[in-house]
Structure 1
Amino acid sequence: MSSANSNEDLKVVEICAGAGGQSLGLERAGFRHQLAVELDGHAVATLKRNQPDWEVRQGDVADAGVWDPEEYKGVDLFAGGVPCPPFSIAGKQMGATDERDLFAWAIEACGRMQPRALLLENVRGLSANRFSAYRQHVLDQLHEYGYVGEWKLLHASDFGVPQLRPRFVLVAMAKEHAEYFTWPETLGTPKPTVGETLLDLMQARGWEGAEDWAKRADSIAPTIVGGSKRHGGADLGPTRAKRAWAELGVDALGVADAAPGPGWEPGPGVPGPKLTTEMVARIQGWKGGFSEWQFEGRKTAVYRQIGNAFPPPVAEAVGRSIARALRKEGPRHELIESTSAVHDPVYKVLRGATRPLAADQIIAKLAKAGISMDVPEVERHLSHLGRDFEVQTIQRSSGAYAYTLGEFKAFTGQEDHQRHDFFVHQRAKIS
């Protein structure tokens, strides 16, 4: 893996680039795009409008006809925000068996590309116990490729974004650089509120009630959701989120074409004005130095691009931490691998086993490692494992069941994987 001069821009290849939230943040952190790949035509048009000098390609990132990861071997950073539905509650948390899952494919591509660093972000759901074995498999795979990986749950509101928006982020790099990596420091309090963030936009057309509205909207926003092409037009989220928006004086049942004008008053049962796409973009972090970004498409398409984005300030903060580590700036520290971090101990036991193990044998091996677990807990882990991995079960003469960990079910590029047929038939509905 090559080294980088501290005076030179670092290079990044980004997949599932969307409308450029992560792209913009990484650019401000000192990275320059060698390539950006995105499926959605509106998002591609947005990227090309804002970054006409970039190489932007439209298509399925797993399609060899769109790009070849091996052509970018040794790039400084391989980054992306792969599809969230496989790990979200709304997407039923199907994980490796969800044909939209590209996380495992991205890890495989990382092994082929051998970038100096990897950055992948996804929804909070990936941090749940349901996916502990999936995460463990990812870290083990990265270790085999020569990387030290670490997961971290980041909240956008800790980086100046007036929104909850927790994102689960994976950063991996070679040991020589991982020793210098630290997660970015948060900005602390006070956190910007929806009211102070949007006041000038609410006043833009002369609405007299803007200042009173801003006083009411004195908290951060619930998570902006981009929604899916499978569903209807733009609105600000599920029922629970709509209630939270109503408390802030925002009508979440859609997106407005313009800010309220002089004399505007909410109708019966309406908590306040709707937000425009410009307002939503600002809540997503397109403000200050990020505010000149222009989105292509009609209102719903623009809203979805914004809602599905990684907030630029968060991407910038993580990007700066990665850049410092690649340049070996700052103090060295103990690597996470030296602390033997384990996400799923049952997975680790079965992965290292040379023969089928019964629940009591798994418990005994865990006890030797100082981990206490009873039979119901082991069975819960096995149930989760069976959703993402082939788990072979045999019944012994004693009546007890023994288990062997088999293949990972996720798509990693297999030519005979069911994802190919799904993609052909559902492409128009994939977000």
Structure 2
Amino acid sequence: MASHDVVEICAGAGGQALGLEKAGFEHTLAVELDAHAVSTLEHNRPSWKVAHGDVASRDVWDPKKYQKVALLAGGVPCPPFTIAGKQLGATDERDLFAWAVELANVMQPRALLLENVRGLSMPRFSGYRQHVLDRLASMGYVASWRLLQASDFGVPQLRPRFVLVAMRSADAAYFQWPEPVEKTPTVGEALGEMMAAGGWEDAKKWAAGANRIAPTIVGGSKKHGGADLGPTRAKRAWKELGVDALGVADAPPGPGAKFEVGPKLTTEMVARIQGWSDDFPWEFQGRKTTRYRQIGNAFPPPVAAAVGEAIMRAFKGEAPRTAPQPSEQDPIYKALRAATDFVSADQLSRASGVLDTPELERRISLLSRDFDIDIQERATGVAYKLGGFKAFIGQADHSRHDQFEKHRSHIS
């Protein structure tokens, strides 16, 4: 294996892959479920080994064959954590985040990079995050989280992503999160030439009015219909930018084109908004809707490149050395985890610093969605004990397998 090799799980159509390649990593393997995304990966990088199928199936690939890889990376499914969804977390059959963390114990990579939606950063998942940090620490990794905005890295849309980086202590001492770029283009600046490519006379005027950053591109899932640019709130934001978000065009507007709202974007324009450009060239395979879905669900290549470069600098010891500081997430989970038996509500309040009883009960309720919490009624009050983690981490008998097969045709 190369000295800076990477195995990427849930690789999608290659947004993270291209960014990591730009940062200097070489793909030893990419694993992806969606056939169209696999075709896109194979079309753009014929030399890469791409495994097609359920990433958690040993019939698709064997993680033990990739031990000591430099980087294990991936963008595992978002629906378990998305704010627009039910936020089922560990009980969602699509949740592979905890499984990916356990994969690090099998593969022992030099570093781990996982990204997901902003919802994972919310208080609802503080216990889940703390479990991840503690588990990685037990494997010898120093881990930290950061909410990164794509617009801070030259991508002309908001697109917040919650990113986890874990490294061995020696490397973690040199890791620093990437700094924002000086300037990010507006939608008009990014798409002006593309919008004029069909001969539309008003393209320059349109570009001048599209003078802000775009809302987050939403790729959606196979359960839903054709391509459009997002939910109602996003459509309103697109309308203010002079873009018709009710669908995606086959070509840029031609001479004499008139619009009530504005033109629709082509998939090529959506890709530019997502961060693909002359610096990050890529060609997508499949019909329009499948191309749009691949683009919309991707990790923007410039953001992946920025994080990949930060990891690479840490590997090379090029950043100033500091004492690695792991993130702290949930004091209630930590107090329960440290206890060997039931903990009274009063003891838990003192240990966690959460002194308000209703707030303590609310946060215990949130924890119980991802963990088994045993509750004991005593004459002096309620006591709690932390049980098992509900998430799929590779168990052969986990309900995830049956649910995955049942819904396989709709999972993307």
TM range (shorter): over 0.9
Cα distance, 1:289 vs. partner? 1.3
Match of 1:182 in 2: 176
Q: 1:346 aligns with which of 322, 329, 332?
A: 332
Q: What is the aligned partner in structure 2 of residue 322 from structure 1?
A: 311
Percent identity (aligned): 65
Whole-angstrom distance in 1 between the partners of 2:143 and 2:54 = 26
Residue by residue over 1:246-284, the C-alpha shift from the partner in whole angstroms, topping out at 9 and shown as x without a partner, is 000000000000000000001xxx310000000000000
Distance of 1:219 and 1:374 partners within structure 2: 43
1:281 to 264, 271, 288: 271
- Residue-by-residue CA offset, 1:114-142 (whole Å, 9 max, x unaligned): 00000000000000000000000000000
Give the 5 Å matches for 1:28-427: 28-188=22-182, 190-266=183-259, 270-291=260-281, 293-337=282-326, 341-366=327-352, 371-398=353-380, 400-427=381-408
Aligned residues: 412
Counterpart secondary structure, 1:66: coil
Q: Which runs of 4+ in 1 moved over 2 A?
A: none
Amino acid at match of 1:321: A
Unmatched 5+ stretches in structure 1:
none
TM-score (norm 2): 0.98
C-alpha contact 2:116 2:163 (8 A) present in aligned 1: yes
Return the offset for 1:217.
0.3
Contact in 2 for aligned 1:9/1:30 (Cα 8 Å): no
Counterpart amino acid of 2:350?
A
C-alpha root-mean-square deviation of aligned residues, in Å?
A: 1.1
Deviation at 1:290, TM superposition (A): 0.9
SS at match of 1:317: helix
C-alpha contact 2:3 2:70 (8 A) present in aligned 1? no
Moved more, 376-385 or 137-146: 376-385
Look up the equivalent residue of 2:349 and give its one-letter code.
I
Q: Does the CA contact (< 8 Å) of 2:354 and 2:360 recur in 1?
A: no
Q: Which amino acid aligns with 1:420?
A: H
> CA–CA distance in 1 between the matches of 2:402 and 2:39?
27
> For residues 3 and 58 of structure 2, what CA distance do their matches in structure 1 show?
28
1:9 is displaced (CA, Å) by 5.3
Match of 2:4 in 1: 10
Task: Tell me if structure 2 keeps the 8 A contact 1:39–1:61.
Answer: yes
Q: C-alpha deviations, 1:353-391, integer Å up to 9, x for none?
A: 12211221111223xxxx353111211110110000000
- Do the aligned partners of 2:176 and 2:319 also contact (CA within 8 Å) in 1? no
Q: Return the letter of the residue paired with 2:242.
A: G
Give the distance between the partners of 1:364 and 1:280, measured in 2 at CA: 51
Distance 1:145 1:355 in 2: 24
TM-score by length of 1: 0.94
How far, CA to CA, are the matches of 1:427 and 1:365 in structure 2? 44
Q: Which amino acid aligns with 2:317?
A: K
Letter in 2 for 1:417: H
Q: Is there any run of 5+ residues in structure 2 with no aligned partner, and where?
A: none
Q: 2: distance between equivalents of 1:325 and 1:250? A: 42
Whole-angstrom CA distance in 2 between matches of 1:372 and 1:40: 44
What residue identity is the alignment partner of 2:78? C
SS in 1 for 2:145: strand
SS at match of 1:85: coil
**Cα distance in 1 between the residues matched to 2:398 and 2:339:** 27
Q: Deviations over 1:138-181 (max 9, x none)?
A: 00000001100000000000000000000000000100000000
Corresponding residue to 1:24 among 18, 29, 45: 18
